[in-house]
Amino acid sequence: MTMRTERLLDEDSASAWLVSGMTVAIGEPTPMALVRQIVRRGLKDLTVIGSGLALDLLIAAGCVRKTISYYAGGGFGVPVAPMFRRAAERGEIEVWECEEGILTSGLEAAGKGLPFLPWRGGVGTSLPVINPDLKLFTDPVNGETLLAVPAIRPDVALLHAAQADAYGNVQHHGGPGWIDLFLQRAATRCIVQVEKIVPNEVIRANPWATTIGRADAVVRLPWGAHPWYSRGWYVQDSALLQEYVTAATAAAERQAPEALQRFLDFYCREPASHADYLERVGLKRLLALHEY
Amino acid sequence: MQPPSIAELLACFLARDLNDGEELQVGIALPIPEAAVRLAHLMHGPNMELIFLGARMNVHHLHHLPLPAFGWDNRVVRWTESFSDRGHRFDQVKDWHRRVFFVGGLQVDPHGNTNLIGVGEDYQRLRFRGPGSVGTPTLTTHVGRYYIVLNSHTPRIFVPRCDFVSTVGWGDGGADARTRLGLPGGGPRYCITPLCVMDFTEDDKRLRLKSLHPGVTLDQVRAQTGFELVVPDEIPITEAPSEAELHFLRTRVDVDGALRKLG
């Protein structure tokens, strides 16, 4: 008797897919539990497609060699992500400068199996000057000047969603994040961490709600986006985000790395599991973040 | 009633310039544009579509909208009617001529080109690494018009030439500057700062003083601008908010007074 293969993995098996040197894409809402696993496992030389806290945390932990960067700031209470800023200014990371339209064009080229896709946003700017991989060209149809954006192929996309069944059918609450489906289509493999696993019947009751039909792995990690939000489940933990910003700013601007190292140890390196992390955050604090 | 703060003045100025039926997209950390679009929506734009975090909504019927609160709060999606941008962002830029957008910047040059990338001569060793371009190059390429909104007005921001350009305003200048580059959108309309409102000259598309805020002098603006600004013969004072505008702003848009705290 044959059986359909389940794609349900535990956090250790899923994060074992991640190895140093890979190109890792990080979605939004942010799959923080898997990001913390990267820090705990001490991966190096990653190329990261991501923004905000996840990107900054990985740079702080020394995991990043290169970032495909469209935005590193604002979203968590600082104009520019502190460790990203410091590492970029010192030349400690390579920045592949782009923007959202260029990034999605490169991801779409990968998904479509094309070497590049043309894009107009960025023509006339410094982007093709400071990123020579973006090439201005004359389009052969109308003779317009456009950008050729090379395919961007993540080895793995890490995403966070509301629910999935054991076979990799994923449903987001309130829609996926803006970039998630681009990342899934472009990546070689896609790992989705979810708030809960539901029976296949729940998926089939509303297949239009399935946003990703073939995740390579799903991992049950409730509260896994913390300290970020998870739509319909909990809001962001602003106090913890601020704790990171304060520690990272001290490390980046005042040569005082102790608080940042403590943060990385306490929240990322020492917990042996996601459940250990949640215990450190504390039940009262988590329950206070419930969205509804 | 407490007199308006500069941020409140600017929100009301911007709100008056927005038209019913338009799509208004506001990014994060832009409190003045966010307040402006919500004020315009309430007062004269029942058919406006607001786009926050890729979520498209019409909230005219709400007594007041507590979110988003000038930042990244995903609960705003509760008011979403559709996600035009979710998973297929940029698939309908052909229709962005009716969309209005707002950008900030680390630097602005005389033709309204702006920089979010960084400050310094050498890209590999920036003196200040900026946040990056977000989606502003693509948006400003296509939207019908946009506004440059700055939280301060100094010679370090208003520079003769941006170290790096992330959004093209009027390029090298001239009314056909954008056409020559093949950029279909309408370009920047105004640049607003805590000191003044600027528009662009019709021929050369160079920044020109349009109005001074109450209590600000021309000399002050000149001293704080790192290039020669076009100055018209008569310079009006930026029109003050009406009582109704301030009332709506304070009781239904910015209930917590964030724009007063900004100054």
Q: Give pLDDT < 50 ranges for chain B.
A: none
Instruction: Write the pLDDT tens digit of every residue in B62-99.
Output: 877 766 666 667 777 778 888 766 667 888 899 999 99
Domain residue limits at A223: 8-96+154-198+207-287
Lookup result for tokens 């297949």: A207
Same domain, A222 and A257: yes
Chain B residues lying within 8 Å of A231, measured CB to CB: 74, 77
Same domain, A171 and A211: yes
The interface pTM score, or ipTM, of the predicted complex is 0.95
Q: Which of A99, A141, A228 has the highest number of chain B CBs within 10 A, making it the mutation to test binding with B?
A: A99
Same domain, A19 and A127: no
To the nearest 10 degrees (0 to 180), the angle between helices B6-16 and B31-43 is: 50
Residue A292: is its pLDDT beyond 70? no
Domain membership flag for residue B1: no
Number of compact structural domains in chain A: 2
Contact A215, A180 (CB under 8 A): no
- Express as a percent the part of chain A with pLDDT over 90: 91
Same domain, A257 and A188: yes
Q: Do A120 and B132 touch (CB under 8 A)?
A: no
DSSP state of B78: G
Residues within 8 A of B (CB atoms), A 193-232 only? 211, 229, 231
Q: What is the mean pLDDT of residues A193-205?
A: 98
Instruction: Write the pLDDT tens digit of every residue in A142-165.
Output: 999 999 999 999 999 999 999 999
For position B140, which CATH number holds?
3.40.1080.10
Q: Within an 8 Å CB–CB cutoff, is residue A62 touching chain B? A: no
For chain B, what is the radius of gyration of the CA atoms?
18
Chain B residues lying within 8 Å of A143, measured CB to CB: none
Q: Do A89 and B127 touch (CB under 8 A)?
A: yes
Domain membership flag for residue B45: yes
Domain membership flag for residue A158: yes
CB-count exposure of residue A201 (10 Å: 0-12, 13-18, 19+) = exposed
A30-39, A103-112, B50-59: range with lowest mean pLDDT: B50-59
The mean pLDDT value of chain A amounts to 96
Closest CA to B201 of B228, B223, B181: B228
For position A275, which CATH number holds?
3.40.1080.10
Lookup result for tokens 């601007």: A253
